[in-house]
Amino acid sequence: MFDDTYLVGARFKNVALKGARITGSQVVDVDISGEVERLTVNGVDVTDFVEAELDRREPDRARMRPRKPAEFREAWDILERRWAETVERARRLDPELLHERVDGEWSFIETQRHLVFATDAWIRRALLGDPSPWSPLDLPHDDMADIPEVPRDQSVRPPLDEVLELRRDRMATMRTVVDGLTDDAVESRTTPVTEPGYPESRDFLVADVVGCIINEEWYHHQYAIRDLAVLESRGRHTG
């Protein structure tokens, strides 16, 4: 319990605050981002308001919650288009900036590496059954425990084109998956992969597995364009 505590300027990252209570406090100039559910401010649950406002600002956001095959395909169409535009935007920057972290978040290239990992984990392993789908450039999320079978080289600095070659391959796999979805398929469950790795060896609902990648791609794209705007403001372009 924090009581009569000075937390001005404090930063909380990757914390679990479920059930937290803030009472009798000065909550001024506070910025919250992350998975927010049932957030009550002075007795008012503002969660639905925030969700509606985010959907209003980004109409495509509502399409990132697919449940039917056609909705998955529509969501992936949007993501393919947005990433293609964003990659061209990134290419106009000094290549060194693509390794630079903004406010402690992943660099553009680290983001691409993480999305390769996510597709390897959830699509190639959990859905398609490859027990060891990894590329040496895969980058798991920071809070994931080390697993001997899963690469995690945080020191490597691959060029953009090398990472994009992997991304194109994984995005093509995802395209094949969403194009092949049927009503029965999205309601079915995966066959557990028995070999150790990530995710754990159990079955998953196919809609959740494919939806996980839709979610990852959407939010990491949002973070990427946010940080590219900061990098662009520094004025180091290649042409």
Within a domain: 200: yes
Confidence of residue 14 (pLDDT cuts 50, 70, 90): confident
* pTM attached to this predicted model: 0.90
Mean pLDDT, rounded, for 205-230: 98
Within a domain: 35: no
Within a domain: 50: no
Mean pLDDT, rounded, for 143-160: 94
Position 5 scores a pLDDT of: 87
Q: How many other C-beta atoms are found inside a 10 Å radius of the C-beta of residue 35?
A: 6
Distances (CA, A) of 99 to 88, 90, 143, 191: 16, 11, 20, 37
> Is pLDDT at 180 greater than 80 in this prediction?
yes
Mean pLDDT, rounded, for 145-167: 96
Within a domain: 173: yes
Within a domain: 82: yes
Residue span of the structural domain in which 118 resides:
62-233
DSSP characters over 89-104: HHHTB-GGGGG--STT
Query: What is the CATH number for 79?
Result: 1.20.120.450
Torsion of CA 213, 217, 219, 223, to 10 degrees: 150
Looking at every residue in the chain, the average pLDDT score rounds to: 95
Within a domain: 141: yes
Closest CA to 225 of 106, 92, 89, 58: 89
Within a domain: 79: yes
Within a domain: 10: no
- Give the total number of structural domains in the chain: 1
